[in-house]
Amino acid sequence: MTKRLWIPLALVMAGCDDPEIDGDAVVRWELSAENIGDDGLPAEDFVDGWAVTFDSIILPVGFLTLSDPETDERRNEVNQAWMAQMVNSTDPVELVTINANSSRSDVSFEAPPVDELEDASLLGVLTPAEAQELRDDGFTFVVEGTGTKEGSSVDFRIPLALGVLMEACENGVDGTIGLAPESASTTTAQVTVHLEHLFWNQLGTEEAALAFQAIAGADADEDGFVGKAELEAVNIADIGYETGGLEIDTLYDFIATAMRSAYHFNGDGACRLDGVESEGHAH
Ligand SMILES: [Ca+2]
């Protein structure tokens, strides 16, 4: 993909100078993991009796765009990326507030690949060193936590290198396509990340059940911790997960694929997905 120009935020905010933008509406972009960072996922949500709590959830987001549905012309483009810690932090967290045209716009945004996160703004209790370490390892996203069931527990750390463009998003608030910012008012545009996808046991449906036993069972050396290597060592054919016709070999690949569709708009709104290739990094 083409390298984006980094436009100072002051210019992004100066929508009133653009004749296409009346500046009459205000759009507040925010990021949410639906409080799962602090609440965890209870056993009732899982088919196999496990419950999950989180110690760290670092999410990437950026390149927030409102465009004309007819011409695809970009009305408001925030050429900025963020990395956010969603545990022990505010949820939802505000990304940016902009002036906007009150006409209905198409909505797109990214889970940016690693090379687009070099200058990412950090949100929540995320330190520059933590963000840099993640990027140095080639990852954009990491979840750390603990699964518990009947007195036993397994810690996990799942790092991912997401690079996904969400386009033509449905609005989870009213089921329409895109966003119609209210004139003389503030309208919320929320990137809502469904972390439940981490524990899906089925692809190709948003109604997948949640399971943790396969992740717990990936602890081959029985040290109470499961990371990327042990997830990669689990053959998907051995655990009965439904891949929805996709060619997926390992549990790690299954989780990475499930998370590609985790970004939604204003709650449950689905988006059209496209890959964003990272420059100069092999994945
Ligand atoms: Ca282990």
pLDDT tens-digit readout, 50-67: 999 999 999 999 999 999
Question: How far apart are the CA of 66 and the centre of ligand 1, in A?
Answer: 44
pTM of this structure:
0.90
Question: How far apart are the CA of 198 and the centre of ligand 1, in A?
Answer: 18
Range of the domain at 172: 9-46+54-193+263-275
Asked whether residue 33 is assigned to any structural domain, the reply reads yes
Cβ atoms of 60 and 33 within 8 Å: the answer is no
Cβ atoms of 234 and 138 within 8 Å: the answer is no
Q: Which residues surround ligand 1, an ion (CB under 5 A)?
A: 219, 221, 223, 225
Point out the residues of the chain with pLDDT beneath 50.
1-3, 7-8, 10-20, 280-283
For 150, 154, 234, 280, the CA distances from 225, given in Å and listed in that order, are: 17, 6, 14, 31
Question: How far apart are the CA of 231 and the centre of ligand 1, in A?
Answer: 9
Question: How far apart are the CA of 175 and the centre of ligand 1, in A?
Answer: 43
Indicate the average pLDDT of the chain.
91
Asked whether residue 130 is assigned to any structural domain, the reply reads yes
Asked whether residue 209 is assigned to any structural domain, the reply reads no
Question: How far apart are the CA of 87 and the centre of ligand 1, in A?
Answer: 24
Q: What is the pLDDT of residue 101?
A: 87
Asked whether residue 199 is assigned to any structural domain, the reply reads no
Q: What is the pLDDT of residue 276?
A: 74
Q: What is the pLDDT of residue 22?
A: 57
Asked whether residue 256 is assigned to any structural domain, the reply reads no
Q: What is the pLDDT of residue 10?
A: 46
Question: How far apart are the CA of 155 and the centre of ligand 1, in A?
Answer: 9
SS3 (DSSP) at 118: coil
Q: What is the pLDDT of residue 208?
A: 85
Q: What is the pLDDT of residue 70?
A: 95
Question: How far apart are the CA of 88 and the centre of ligand 1, in A?
Answer: 26
Asked whether residue 246 is assigned to any structural domain, the reply reads no
Question: How far apart are the CA of 90 and the centre of ligand 1, in A?
Answer: 32
**Closest C-alpha to 255, from 129, 157, 109, 138:** 157
For residue 151, count CB atoms less than 10 angstroms from its CB and return exposed for 0-12, middle for 13-18, buried for 19 or more.
exposed
Asked whether residue 204 is assigned to any structural domain, the reply reads no
Q: What is the pLDDT of residue 190?
A: 98
| DSSP character string of 62-117 | EEEEEE-TTT--EEEEEEEEEEEE-SSS-SSEEEEEEEE-SS-BEEEEEE--GGG-
| DSSP character string of 19-50 | TT----EEEEEEEE-TTHHHH-B-GGGBTTS-
How many domains does the chain contain in total?
1
Question: How far apart are the CA of 157 and the centre of ligand 1, in A?
Answer: 10
Asked whether residue 24 is assigned to any structural domain, the reply reads yes
| DSSP character string of 161-193 | ---EEEES-B-TTTS-BSB-PPBTSEEEEEEEE
Task: Say how far apart CA 78 and CA 83 lie, in whole Å.
Answer: 15
Question: How far apart are the CA of 254 and the centre of ligand 1, in A?
Answer: 19
